[in-house]
Amino acid sequence: MKNTHPQGSAQTLAGRITEWLTFDNMHHQWLLLAACFWVIFMFMVASKFITLTFKDPDAYSAKQEFLFLTAVPDAGKLPGEKHFPEELKPTGKVPSDSRLVQPLVYVERLELIRNVCRDEALKNLSHTAVSKFVLDRIFVCDKHKILFCQTPKVGNTQWKKVLIVLNGAFPSIEEIPENVVHDHEKNGLPRLSSFSDAEIQKRLKTYFKFFIVRDPFERLISAFKDKFVHNPRFEPWYRHEIAPGIIRKYRKNRTETRGIQFEDFVRYLGDPNHRWLDLQFGDHIIHWVTYVELCAPCEIKYSVIGHHETLEDDAPYILKEAGIDHLVSYPTIPPGITVYNKTKVERYFLGISKRDIRRLYARFEGDFKLFGYQKPDFLLN
């Protein structure tokens, strides 16, 4: 009996050890299994988070597109500084195609001017001295560092109103009396010619500069109607002094007693020797001389050239580029008023000799080519 007890105790102890080892092994297995479940659970959570983050494919593509558009570094900015081109500043929505393409139009216009200015064959038609006559056409807004070259019969009255408000002479465009707009003693618009040579050069180099053009022949029609037919501003000298001078020099039928006709006007403008009459007429000729003579686009590096035909797009763009779009708006443009009217042009030139029309085009060819207007073959051939 004494010999069996130690053996039984040993067996019992071995059994307990085996049971404990089995339990410990199962415990580790459960821990390992739990760890696996935890990893799987965390992976599912992370996967769900990733799915939620990129759930909107349109929003993601927009971010991708915007990144691509702004990836080219700006040499004028410090490394790491965030900078977005003005037309591409983030607004929470994808910029429309027109917003992305539109600025290219203005770049192409300036590039065209540079190319035409380099054309030796057109040098006499594209170049002019930056004389007092030119400097008198350029109005100054020092407060916002803007220069505007006046090109009459291209909506200049409205641009003058914009600058008058910016200069602080009147609080809003609506409050500017019509008789004040063109009164340069009252409208608060200094001319560039009123500054010293050094101040002129400083402004020409550093200010935002722009002017507006339209089809050259349509502009001449507008000038003729405004000054010799309707004359809404009651400027009697156009009919009583300038018109008789043109008629005496250029009317073919001396017995005809009608007032000035568009044919007389065309013959005067197309005459290579028109300058002797220009000198007699003085600054009144600004309404029909070329854009080259008014604004010297080959000598002055303008920031933007606007076109009357696309003024609905160009006016907001100019205000934005000048940094004043939050301060003033261009007056409402009546529908259809800026559209090129070929029928009207044909009607006015009807009956005028091809020789006179070709001479007129020869004078204004520089304007047609500098600003991308199509040669009016329907009048010339």
Domain, as residue range, for 218: 100-244+289-340+364-379
Looking at residue 36, its pLDDT comes to 54
Q: Please tell me the predicted confidence (pLDDT) of residue 199.
A: 98
> Is 164:189 a contact under the CB 8 Å cutoff?
yes
Strand 208-213 with 304-307, pairing = parallel
Residues of the chain with pLDDT under 50: 1-7, 9-10, 13-14, 17, 20-23, 45-101
| pLDDT given at position 90 | 34
Q: Does the residue 12 lie in any domain?
A: no
Report if residue 1 sits inside a domain: no
Number of domains in the chain: 1
Answer yes or no: is 75 within a domain: no
Residue 105 located in a structural domain: yes
Q: What is the pLDDT of residues 247-270, one digit of tens each?
A: 999 998 877 888 999 999 999 999
Q: Which residues contact 228 (CB under 8 A, 6 or more apart)?
A: 238, 239, 243, 259, 260, 265
Can you give the pLDDT at residue 132?
97
pLDDT at position 254: 77
Q: Is residue 116 part of a domain?
A: yes
Residue 56 lies in a domain: no
pLDDT digits (tens, 9 = 90+) for 340-380: 999 999 999 999 999 999 999 999 999 999 999 999 999 99
Specify the pTM.
Answer: 0.73
Q: Is residue 239 part of a domain?
A: yes
323 within some domain: yes
pLDDT at 242: 96
Give the per-residue pLDDT at 234: 77
Closest CA relative to residue 163, chosen from 178, 144, 179? 144
Task: Quote the CA–CA distance of 108 and 129 in Å, as a whole number.
Answer: 25
Distance between CA atoms of residues 113 and 304, nearest Å: 11
